[in-house]
Amino acid sequence: ELKVEQNPLFLSMQEGKNYTIYCNYSTTSDRLYWYRQDPGKSLESLFVLLSNGAVKQEGRLMASLDTKARLSTLHITAAVHDLSATYFCAVDSFASGTYKYIFGTGTRLKVLA
Amino acid sequence: GAGVSQSPSNKVTEKGKDVELRCDPISGHTALYWYRQSLGQGLEFLIYFQGNSAPDKSGLPSDRFSAERTGGSVSTLTIQRTQQEDSAVYLCASSLMSYLDYYNEQFFGPGTRLTVL
């Protein structure tokens, strides 16, 4: 069964600090996705990571993928209040004619001014 | 350009009634996906369409749930005899090509908040 785990579930951090969110998944997949969700809003695609060693950066966010360890990280550099949101990772797989798209539990990030 | 749209944005219904939720994907997107987001279950993958075909319906929570897509565009998620546990936000997403496409970036709609009293 495909499972995706994120940690931490909640993260409260000061502006200007760095932190990392971790995403572990349980089965072989070469594709990992990161999304942002603001309260009461839908999901916004942040990154699509397609291969082992992939690294993508956008502003203060950087995502990486290690398919051998089945681990992705979302690193936040010098956090600002505007980054407060819930961040989800997701993995998809296609096996035995069945397609699944599984989200992690989400990490609720609060950046304190 | 226009993104994914969903209607209604909010739906309040009584237990036992049927509801229909609509999704309009981005024009030209061939793949369409339905998800459910609730406090207790997080984000659940329900069903996907490639064109008008849904190859796998095993993600639907029960046989009260059904979905269809017509003309390779609009999709409807129908819940019959709604129950209180069906209360959730139902999200729709679309992607340009097949879910098998190597770069399967999905674009999400705003969701329909369903409340079953």
What is the Cα–Cα distance from B80 to B83, expressed in whole angstroms? 9
Q: Which residues of B66-91 are buried (b: 16+ CB within 10 A; e: fewer)?
A: ebebeebbebebebeebeeebbbbbb
- Please report the pLDDT score of residue A93 as a whole number: 82
Average of per-residue pLDDT values in chain A: 91
Instruction: Search chain A and give the residue with CA nearest B35.
Output: A101
pLDDT value at residue A95: 75
**Mean pLDDT to the nearest integer, A79-90:** 95
> Is pLDDT above 70 for B101?
no
- Topology of domain B1-9+26-97 in CATH is Immunoglobulin-like (2.60.40)
- Superfamily of domain covering A4-112: Immunoglobulins (2.60.40.10)
Query: Looking at per-residue confidence, does A34 or B50 come out higher?
Result: A34
Does residue A113 have a pLDDT over 70?
yes
Q: Does B71 touch chain A (CB under 8 A)?
A: no
Distance from CA of A113 to the nearest CA of B (A): 28
From CA A92, how far away is CA B17, in angstroms rounded? Answer: 33
Average pLDDT rounded to a whole number, residues B21-31: 94
B40 to chain A, any CB pair closer than 8 A? The answer is: no
The mean pLDDT value for B12-39 works out to 95
Q: What is the DSSP string of chain B?
A: ----EEE-SEEEE-TT--EEEEEEPPTT--EEEEEEEETTTEEEEEEEEETTB-S--TTSSSTTEEEEE-TTS-EEEEE-S--GGG-EEEEEEEESS-TTSSS---EE---EEEEE-
Residues 67-106 of A with CB under 8 A from B: 88, 90, 92, 94, 97-103, 105-106
CB contact under 8 A, A99 and B55: yes
Cβ contact A101–B55 (<8 Å): no
- Tell me how far apart the alpha carbons of residues B98 and B10 are, in angstroms, rounded to a whole number: 30
Least Cα separation, residue A105 to chain B (angstroms): 6
Q: In A, which residues are within 8 Å of B35 by CB distance?
A: 101, 103
Instruction: Tell me the percentage of chain A whose pLDDT exceeds 70.
Output: 99
| pLDDT, mean of residues A72-84 | 96
pLDDT of residue B102: 66
Residue A29 CB burial class (10 angstroms; 0-12, 13-18, ≥19): buried
pLDDT at B56: 87
Of B99, B103, B110, Cβ closest to residue A42 = B110
Q: Where are the domains of chain B?
A: 1-9+26-97
Per-residue pLDDT tens digits for B39-91: 867 899 999 998 898 988 889 999 999 999 998 899 999 999 999 999 999 99
- CA–CA distance, A70 with A22 (Å, rounded to integer): 11
Using a CB-CB cut-off of 8 Å, the residues of chain A touching B109 are 42
C-alpha A99 chain-centroid distance: 20
Question: Per mean pLDDT, which of A30-39, B16-25, B35-44 is the most reliable?
Answer: B16-25
The token pair at B102 is 């190597």
pLDDT at A30: 67
Determine whether B95 is exposed, middle or buried from the number of CB atoms within 10 Å of its CB (0-12, 13-18, 19+).
buried
| Half-sphere exposure at residue B112, Cβ-oriented, CA atoms within 13 angstroms | 28
Cβ-based contacts under 8 A for chains A and B? 55
Residue B33 contacts A where some CB pair is shorter than 8 Å:
yes
The domain spans of chain A are: 4-112
Please name the residue of chain A whose CA is at the shortest distance from the CA of residue B57: A98
Q: Output the furthest CA–CA distance in chain A (Å, rounded).
A: 49
Listed in sequence order, the residues at least 6 apart from B49 whose beta carbon sits closer than 8 Å to its beta carbon are: B31, B32, B33, B67, B69, B75
CB–CB contact B106 A45 (8 Å)? yes
